Amino acid sequence: MFQKKPEPPLCLPGFDHINRFFDRQHKHFAAKILPGEYYVTRESEVITTVLGSCISVCVFDPKLRMGGMNHFMLPSGNNLDLLSDSFRYGDVAMERLVNDILRNGGDKERLIFKAFGGGQIIKNMTSIGQRNITFLHKFMTMEGYKLTASDLGGPHPRKVIFFPQEGTVRVKKLQHMHNDTIVARENRYETELSKKEEVTGDIDLFD
């Protein structure tokens, strides 16, 4: 007799495009986010991603047991002034995540922030990861937020699994994984960001 395939929990409006699958290891549905994506949920599911030089921030409201996670990289350029286009891209990535949590009942005063990634996974390469880390610290200071936990920098890619109903995060540093796929994916993402910046000057990471 065939066992009925489990149905994923309902997702919040605007997140239907996110890839979700049943994670047999954790016995939950998982939302897998790629560079430029984010996901917010009130349900018993996990959010997962793999990071190289990109950063993911997990945001959690402990009263509502609701949370979300993003996955972002700044476009090319070394200017991290608060008014620069590069800063504005990261600013939007953070604000959309936080605003979606607030829109669904979260309270800014309760939010807990944890951040991961920003690795330099290719030796002797310009540290995009460090620029992303610098941006994050500037943004958090500017908005009056604090990180309660972080695992940033270093030479390794990371797999991040966030449990948004508990606010807990599991991080695995990928010691022996080939980095080619991660690097290629992030290079494509950075190229797309740079093209958008050159052509329109607009910020629209998640449409």
Q: Which residues are catalytic?
A: 54
Bridge partners (DSSP) of residue 59 are 68, 113
Edge-to-edge strand ranges of the sheet holding 45-51? 19-23, 28-32, 45-51, 158-163, 168-173
How far, in Å, CA of 68 to CA of 46, rounded? 9
Which residue, 82, 45, 80, 83, is CA-closest to 161? 45
Tokens of 46: 């996990």
Beta partners for residue 147, in sequence order: 113
- Annotate 152-183 with b (16+ C-beta within 10 A) or e (fewer): bbeebbbebbbbbbebebebeebeeeebeebb
Query: Nearest-CA neighbor of 105 among 49, 42, 58?
Result: 42
Name the residue type at position 109.
E
